[in-house]
Chain A
Amino acid sequence: MHVRWKHLAIGLAILPIVVFFATWIGFFNVGASTGHWKITEWFLHFAMRSAVRTYAFTVDVPDRLPREGLQPAGGHFARGCAICHGAPGEPRSPAALAMLPRPPDLADVVGKWKDRELFRIVKHGVRFTGMPAWPTQARDDEVWAMVVFLRALPAMDATTYRRLAYDGKPSPPMHATGIEEALAECNRCHGVDGMGRSPSTPVLAGQNEVYLLESLRAYAEGRRPSGMMTLPVQAIDYARLTALARHFAELPRAVAPARGEEERFRRGEQIARHGRPVERVPACLGCHASAKRSPAYPRLAGQSAAYISAQLRLFREGRRGGTRFSPLMENAAKSLSDADIENVTTYFSTLSPGD
């Protein structure tokens, strides 16, 4: 008996050496052509499902998923996801199909996951699979918009998808060199008129050129985190940004939506004009009074409501980033309450662009 225990101990002690040696002589094939051993495949999937399920418990699910983010998420899907996962009406490249593991057709699998699990996978990616994390960890709002898109994906036909992702036009190339191609890349989501193709997309038409250019540079240089903007900005020649900023600045801004919430508008106007001195909220119009102020400060009259409120929340959490002036706004938004954000949003989004 003594002798057997001793043998076992010696065996265990030399096992790592044997494994290391086997690895060193190249015993373990890392080629993707033959696939995993059955047991490896089972174990990796088991580990992945378990980890996603467990880590998803830490995710804070919002009360309401941002349905207004469907279109921009579709636009991002076309650039970031479809190349591996395919899209309605767009067969994948054989190169993507030869990946190990093969990226699943998402229409088949999203139903197996809960919202928080999809969020976890999209935000953090999956190791050993080629599934990348979201390009920034600071924008949960974008990840939730992608969850909305994924939920809509199984029932989506090719026409709907093309309308969401490309506005029904031909898909622009993956790297835009010419100005026409660069503009087409912007227009997919921001619209030919620059008014934004979804409620959560910012209105670019009539925005200050200086602010637009500074913001594009901030995206390109990673000073303003956003998965959805990083991809298209990286796909455009840096030198084209100036022309793009000028193009959108020169478009006319359409009239703001009709005002329904009089009381909210009035309260928002109070904050915009006078701030809330005791809470240290400065007056918005001190900087955001369009033509009378520095063009580095964005014009807000007639801006998208969902966009304003999302940005104010990001500023409040200190995650917005942006131009060299964005620390001013971080300071200003620090003590805004949720109600303040609603009121200010109502005020600026329904303000006539001429004001």
Chain B
Amino acid sequence: MLVGCQGVQSALDPAGAEARAISTLFVAMVLTGGAVWLGVASILWFAMRQGRAVVAEQSASRLIFWGGAVFPSVTLITLLGYAFWLMPSLRPFATASEAALRIEVTGRQYWWQVAYHRSGPPILAANEIRLPVGSRIEFSLKSDDVIHSFWIPSLGGKMDMIPGRANRLSLLADKPGVFRGACAEYCGSSHALMALTAVVMEPAAFDAWLMTEAKASINAGGEGGALFVHHGCGSCHRVAGTEASGTLGPDLSHLGSRQMLAAGIIANTEDNIARFIAAPDAIKPGANMPAFSMLPQEDIRAIAVWLKRLE
């Protein structure tokens, strides 16, 4: 049964400091609650065994006072105190000097815009975030349209993304791996199809990845790149190192290196990229991208091949 509690998207299988604290709190609550339930059930069982035997008024009052007033108050106050004590550690904010890397995530219907801020120009990406293991990373969470909520259960608690403001969240991942996040606030017809991949990497690998990400892709994908610009994809999408510089849709630079496609819902394959280009609405109802089924099949295929090779 516990297998169901594990996996890439489980608050009960923590891989980060915040998620671990939340998981501990959950376990403490369940254990305490379970003990109280056992106690109450035992007293009930005992009372039933007693039959119609008369209990002295004094001992009954004592039982009600200790068992009905003092015990619940103490238990609840203790649990509340524990939760209060935990709260600051669930929202730790790095001091300005510590925050070497800040990740800005903006919720859009139905995908995530990601920008890595450090010294130098921000590095843009979409629908996948990568984190170094063992460092505290600060997130700045925004929205451009409706309220979304950013939640990677394996790494930490959720935080709403509200139009017009930037919410802060900080996460410390302590185990490398690939995790799955989701939008946790209903945001429209494809809310359930708005997921996120979080990749926790060793610091050295992360730095190397970020260096690659900061540069344009070295591409050997044939004529697809020219067709991408030719058919106007650059109106909405940006691909670093090409003429395409649109910001309406997801940044597609280094798309080939991403694990998933269309905000964490389908595998990143050439076939799926081609399918999405021809009919986005079939994969993601309500997506803002219009269908490009009028393009020649071979052009769609060439663009898909090129995108998949943007490493």
What residues make up the interface of A, taking CB atoms closer than 8 Å to B?
274-275, 277-278, 280-287, 292-294, 297, 324-325, 327-328, 331-332
Contacts and interface: CB of A to CB of B under 8 A. Distances in A.
B291 interface: yes
Report whether over half of chain B's contact residues are helix, strand or loop; otherwise say mixed.
loop
Interface residues on B, range: 20 to 34
Interface string B217-234: 000000000000111111
B290 A286 contact: no
B294 interface: yes
A294 B248 contact: no
A294 B231 contact: yes
B236 interface: yes
A280 B291 contact: no
19 contacts: A274-B245, A275-B248, A277-B248, A280-B248, A282-B235, A282-B246, A286-B232, A286-B233, A287-B231, A287-B232, A287-B235, A294-B230, A294-B231, A294-B232, A297-B232, A324-B294, A327-B291, A328-B290, A328-B292
Find the residue from A280, A284, A285, A332 having the highest chain B CB count within 10 A: A280
Contacts, number: 57
B294 A286 contact: no
A293 B230 contact: yes
A185 to B, nearest CB: 29
Contact of A327 (B234, B246, B290): B290
B288 interface: yes
Contacts of A274: 245, 247
Given A278-B144, A325-B294, A328-B290, A286 B247 contact: no
Nearest to B299: A294
B38 to A, nearest CB: 56
A282 B245 CA distance: 11
Nearest to B232: A287
Interface string B228-255: 0111111110000001111110000000
Contacts of A281: 248
Nearest to A330: B290
Nearest to B294: A324
B144 A275 contact: no
A293 B247 contact: no
Contacts of A331: 288, 290
A277 B232 contact: no
Contact of A280 (B230, B232, B243, B288): B288
Interface of B: 144, 229-236, 243-248, 288, 290-292, 294
A262 B290 CA distance: 33
Contact of A328 (B232, B245, B247): B232
Contacts of B236: 275, 282-283, 286
Contacts of A286: 232-236, 244, 246
Contacts of B248: 275, 277, 280-282
Contacts of B288: 280, 331
Most chain A Cβ neighbours within 10 Å, of B144, B232, B243, B290: B232
Contacts of A324: 294
A274 B246 CA distance: 7
* Residue from A274, A286, A293, A332 whose CB has the most chain B CB atoms within 10 Å: A286
Nearest to A323: B294
A254 to B, nearest CB: 26
A287 B231 CA distance: 7
Nearest to A282: B235
A292 B229 contact: yes
Contacts of A292: 229-230, 243
Nearest to A325: B294
Nearest to A286: B235
A277 B231 CA distance: 19
B225 to A, nearest CB: 13
Nearest to A288: B232
Contacts of A275: 235-236, 246-248
B194 to A, nearest CB: 17
Given A277-B144, A293-B231, A325-B294, 19 more contacts: A274-B245, A274-B247, A275-B248, A277-B248, A281-B248, A282-B235, A283-B245, A284-B235, A286-B232, A286-B235, A286-B236, A287-B231, A287-B235, A292-B229, A294-B231, A294-B232, A324-B294, A328-B290, A332-B235
Nearest to A284: B235
B71 to A, nearest CB: 56
Give the 8 A-B CB pairs with smallest separation, nearest first: A286-B235, A287-B232, A324-B294, A282-B235, A331-B290, A277-B247, A286-B234, A286-B232
